[in-house]
Structures are given as structure tokens and as C-alpha cells.
Amino acid sequence: MSTFEELGLSPEICQAVNDLGFKTPTEVQQRAIPTILASQRDLVALAQTGTGKTGAFGMPVLQQVDANSDNVQVLVLSPTRELAIQIEKDLKDFSRHQKGIRTLAVYGGTSIGSQISALKRGVQVVIGTPGRMLDLIKRGKLDVTNVRSLVLDEADEMLNMGFQDDLDAILHDTPKEKQTLLFSATMPNQISKIARKYMNNPEEIQVSARNSGALNVEHHYYMVQARDRYDALKRVVDVNPDIYGIIFCRTRRETSDIAASLAKDGYDVDWLNGDLSQSQRDDVMNRFRTGELQLLVATDVAARGLDVDSLTHVINYNLPDDLEVYIHRSGRTGRAGNSGISISIINTREKNKIRALEKMSGKDFIKQDVPSGKEVCGVRMMDMVEKLRTTEVNEKQIEKYLPEVYERLSDLGWQDLIKHFVSMEFNQILEYYEQAGDINASAGKSNKKNKRNSSNKGSRNSGGRSNSRSAEEGFTRYFLNVGGRDGLNPARLMGVVNEQMNGKKPDFGKIDIQNNFSFFEVEEGFDSKLFDSMNGSKFEGREIAVELAKPDTNGASSSNNNNGSSSKRSGKGKRKSKGKEPFAKSSGGRIKKKRKADVYA
């Protein structure tokens, strides 16, 4: 095993690496650093997320910077703001003992003026997203004519995000005589084209298998009917009380819908997608990194650059369309010597995707049964008991209250006292899961037992899909002209309603998603507000119509409401959850409408 000194790195950089606590270089660092230092030959490095890529290109290019010149000598292009910020932080750390080295991260969603001012003062290393970097070049504020090293980090993701034209423009403006370093987890055709067009006979190194996953990660999957996906997610989270993880969704809308549902159910959760401003993204990420948030619901793009070593789980609420993205997702856990679990919730038509992932990654995917309500209750109860047992007692703090407490509880024996305590803590969770059915599904078969729990009418997650024709007491039943074929599910339905309605949001009762239409219940007293805000708005391009549901003998429903007004509304805020279930930690999630950022998804 080589040392950093043996790789040819300067004493200043080796000292910085030692300060950071790194003892031995990773495989990609061992292979890339000597190549970059030994010649000006271009390099294509294929390595997965979390393998030390930033150090592999960062340390050698910093060593080659002329600190006596204020010219921009190194460009590092990254797909997202978060990753650009993370790379700049790492490069600052690596160069802490090199005098005169200045770095700058440039990205959208923040003032371009401050970035221009920093460029005027002189920097040698610029890290940024393609859109902002090209903008600065076109304005004449970023001079790239003296660039010696050009790094394309996570190049496959930049292409996936549609940055091909921007990359072409930036690369075209840089000198032909430079060293180009391309780092990517995969080698799609577009990357090969860039290598052929802009690189000169590049050397290629590949760390481990091109599409393999992290060694410390177990891969599990749960198979349910599509309509039971959120219920399965909730049970998986409930049965892992100490979970600290990311839930990956396909779309921005889905992230906010799922996060809103989990927040209503009491979890410390927030969401991360391209609709957030930079300050909002920073706030979410800081709270997640510090453990204030237990769960983060994110799109693939938004989670780039989120470097957290202690994640216990990654949950794929939906498998990605491009299965190679799964490798990126699963690599977010099982880092820095820790173990992790990557979970996928699939429907009965996605079994072939699991087989493809097994072949791609060379890993076995373990089929797990979605836990029953009884299993969830048992795990949560024993977790609570263990925390109670290990709670440190500070007698000085409580001693003045103990005599009255003893007196009030004197008529209860210790067994009765335990029963009272358990009942107080768990009546609601036991009631919630009392009628929870088996939602496991078998591929190719209809699972008639897949019924959601309908006992908890105030729950944000569908609260049941019974075909009962009358609303529960205190709730009103509505007909909606959008159904499963439009991509509607309970979480998205609730997200749409809450997004369109101003002010106080209703609690939901039963939700029944059919193929072409749906029924849903909300607490009484919201008729006018619901009709006014929902009718005329759109879901996936289809105009929404909401009516009071009126049962008839044929089981059909609804007549038009007489509330003729309708208006399209947008930008309504999502509320912060007030209530919380007893089986969650706390309701910490800020769920509210965010301003769309000016760069990327």
C-alpha cells in the first residue's frame, strides 16, 4: 500500500492530508495521482461515488498551480451547486499549507456580482456548474485562456442533466494545450464522444467494476402493489427506529408530496430538489448533516454533493429510469467503513429491473417481507422500553417532585404502572396498525389482501382505501376526475390539495384511487375552500374537477357541486405539521413552497 508521499505529492499537501486524518490513499488516488503528476497526458477515470475522486484530481492539480500568478489555471466542472461547494471546501483543505493559492466556487442561485468581484481579485482555481461558468465566460469575467488543467467531475451526470452544449462551449474556449481529466461513474456514449473530441489520447483507469456497488451495502427490496407504495415506505421506516437516510424519488413533485406526508406522520424530515433557493438548500443540508433531520427526501440531482458518511439507509421510493443511477444512490450509504442498506420498493411489474440490477452490480438483492402491523408495534415498543431502561436519571433535578409523584401513584403496583405507561405511549400506534393488512405482493398475481389501515382517519397517508360509500363521521367525501392512470396516488393527491389551498389545511380520511377517477375524504367545513381552489387547477396537464361524492345504488358517485366558482391557483404553502404520531421522533420538517432556483433541476 502506497503512502501519499510515495505518490509524489509535495510536503505541503502531505501535511494537509495528514491534518485531515487520511493515512493511506484510496485505489483511485493511487492510480490517478502519479499519472497526473508524471505527464500532461489526459486521463479518463471511472470510479464510483465515495471512492476519493476529489483527492485524486484535487491534490495533483493544486501541486501544479503557480501561486505567483493570478490567472485562472484550473477549471473544475461539476453537475450541481452542492458538489461544487463540496469540491471547493476539499481543495481549500488540501491547499491549506500552500501560500497564495486561492479557490472560488461559482454556481447559480446566488449573486453573480460577488463571484465577479472575487474573480477580479484573482483566483487560480475555479470550481463551478456549467451554466454559471459559461455565463461568466460570456460576460468576459472569467478568462479561461490560461487554463492548464480542466477537470470534468461526474461527467455522466452533467450529460444526464442536459449540459452537453454548455460543456462543448466551455471546452471550446479553453487552450488546446492543457491536461483534461474526466472523472465519471459510467462511460456512456456521450462521454466517449467528449473524450474523442476534446481529449488527446487519454489514459483510462477503472477502479473496481465499472458498475459495481459499495462493498459494505446490503441490497433489499419489497414488492407491493403500486397503490401501497407509501404504506410500505412508512412501515419500513417505522420498523427501523434509528434510521438516518435518504429517500430517493423521481420527480420534484414527488419529493415534496412524500416529505409532506412523512412530516404529517411525525418524522423529522425535509425535502431537497431544484425548486429550493440556495439559502434554503443550505439550511436543509446543514440540518440533515447535523442530525436534526432523520430523513431527507430528494431527487437524484439535488442529492449530488451531499457527503454524509454515517447514513444507515438509502430508500428507493421508485427505481430510477436509468438503472446505473441506482449505483450512485446506493453508494450514499456504506461509506467510510460503515455498513448500510439500500432498499427498493417495487411493484409487481418491476421484478425484471431487480434482476438487471443484480447482473449490473454483481450483488444479490434480498427480497424482504413488508412488516406486519404487529411486527412494527413490537419493534417500536421494545425500542421505547430499551430507551426507557437506559435513560440516565438525574435525581437532583427531580427529587423535589418525587414525593408528590409517589403519592399520586401509590395505589398502582409496579405491573399496573407499566401497563399504564405502555398504554399511554402506544395506544395510538396500536390503534393505527390494528387493522393493517398484509400488503406484500407476488409478481404476476393480484394480492387481494392488500388493504391499507383505515382505522386512523386523521392520518396523512391515505388512511385506507375502503370502497365504503359514506364518509366517516366528521369527514366529507369528494369525487375527483383524476385517477391512477394519470399518475395519481394518495401522497400526490394530498400534496395537490395542500398546494392549492391557502391557510389551514384539512386532515384527510379515506382515499380511494381508481384508474380513471378517485374519491377522497377531508374533515368537514372545507367545501367552499376546496371547490374554489381545486377546480380549474391542473394535475399533469389535466384540468381538475372536484365534486361532492353522492352514492347511488350502482356504486357510481357524485353530482356537480353548486359552488360555481373555480380558479387556478399556484404557489400555495405547505404547512408545518402540528400533530405527530407517538411512534415518530418529532415533527421537525419544514414543508413549505420554495422559490425555484435559477439553475438546474
Q: In the predicted model, what is the mean pLDDT of residues 477-502?
A: 82
**pLDDT score for 57:** 95
Sheet arrangement for strand 295-298: 269-272, 295-298, 245-248, 313-316, 340-346, 217-223, 365-367
| Helix or strand holding residue 19 (H, E) | helix 11-19
pLDDT at 591 over 70: no
For residues 565 and 122, the model is more confident at 122
Say which CATH topology domain 461-576 has: Alpha-Beta Plaits (3.30.70)
Burial class (CB in 10 A: 0-12, 13-18, 19+), 299: buried
Q: Mapped to the 3 state alphabet, what secondary structure does 52-91 carry?
A: CHHHHHHHHHHHCCCCCCCCCCEEEECCCHHHHHHHHHHH
Distance of CA 352 to the CA centre of its chain: 24
Identify the residue with better confidence: 283 or 157: 283
Most confident of 189-203, 283-297, 327-341: 283-297
**Polymer length in residues for the chain:** 601
Task: For residue 241, give Cα distances in angstroms to 237, 386, 428, 600.
Answer: 7, 12, 17, 34
pLDDT of residue 210: 41
> What cell was used for 346?
417495487
Query: Residue 599 — very low, low, confident or very high, per pLDDT cuts 50/70/90?
Result: very low
E-strand stretches of 514-582: 518-523, 538-539, 542-543, 546-548
| Cα diameter, the chain | 88
Of the candidates 48, 44, 53, the one whose C-alpha atom is nearest the C-alpha of residue 25 is 53
Spatial separation of the C-alpha atoms in residues 418 and 416, rounded to whole Å: 5
Contact 360, 210 (CB under 8 A): no
3-state secondary structure of 523: strand
CA 283 to chain centre: 14
Note whether 11-206 and 461-576 share their fold.
no
In this predicted model, what pLDDT tens digit does every residue of 9-50 receive, in sequence order?
A: 999 999 999 988 888 898 899 999 999 998 888 999 988 766
Answer yes or no: are the C-beta atoms of 483 and 518 closer than 8 Å: yes
**pLDDT score at 1:** 54
Q: What is the pLDDT of residue 541?
A: 78
Cα(238)–Cα(218) distance, integer angstroms: 19
What are 225-263's pLDDT values in tens digits?
A: 888 999 999 999 999 988 999 999 987 888 888 999 898
Span 186-224, pLDDT tens digits: 776 777 777 887 788 888 888 764 444 556 889 999 999
Choose from 425-429, 452-456, 476-480 the range with maximum mean pLDDT.
Answer: 476-480
Q: Mean pLDDT for the chain?
A: 79
> In this model, does residue 284 exceed pLDDT 80?
yes
- Position 313 pLDDT exceeds 80: yes
Can you give the residue ranges of every domain in the chain? 11-206, 217-373, 461-576
- 396-to-273, 363, 402, 405 alpha-carbon distances in Å: 47, 54, 10, 15
Q: Residue 458 pLDDT more than 50?
A: no
- pLDDT class of 2 with cuts at 50, 70, 90: confident
Q: How much is the average pLDDT of 399-424?
A: 87
Higher pLDDT, 492 or 56: 56
Residue-level pLDDT at 148: 94
Distance CA 433, CA 544 (A): 33
152/333: higher pLDDT: 152
Give the range among 158-162, 500-504, 560-564 with minimum mean pLDDT.
Answer: 560-564
Going by pLDDT thresholds of 50, 70 and 90, the confidence category of residue 85 is confident
Q: Quick: pLDDT tens for 315-329.
A: 999 888 667 678 778
Q: Which of 179-183, 392-396, 557-561 has the lowest mean pLDDT?
A: 557-561
**Residue 422 confidence (pLDDT):** 79
Lowest mean pLDDT among 145-149, 206-210, 396-400, 444-448: 444-448
pLDDT tens digits along 90-122 = 999 999 999 999 999 998 877 899 999 999 999
pLDDT value for 455: 36
* Rounded-to-integer distance, Cα 426 and Cα 431, Å: 8
464, pLDDT greater than 60: no
Contact 156, 183 (CB under 8 A): no
Please name the amino acid found at residue 417: L
Using one digit for the tens of pLDDT, what is the confidence trace for 60-69?
A: 999 999 999 9
Q: For 136-145, 276-285, 296-305, 521-530, which range has the lowest pLDDT when averaged over its residues?
A: 296-305
Q: Is 470 exposed, middle or buried (0-12, 13-18, 19+ CB in 10 A)?
A: exposed
* 11-206 CATH: 3.40.50.300
Range scoring the smallest mean pLDDT among 371-385, 406-420, 546-560, 572-586: 572-586
Q: Are 98 and 14 in contact (CB under 8 A)?
A: no
| CATH class of the domain comprising 217-373 | alpha beta
CA dist., res. 597 & res. 594, Å (int): 9
- Give the global pTM: 0.51
Stretch 295-300: mean pLDDT, rounded? 89
> Residue 22: its pLDDT value, please?
84
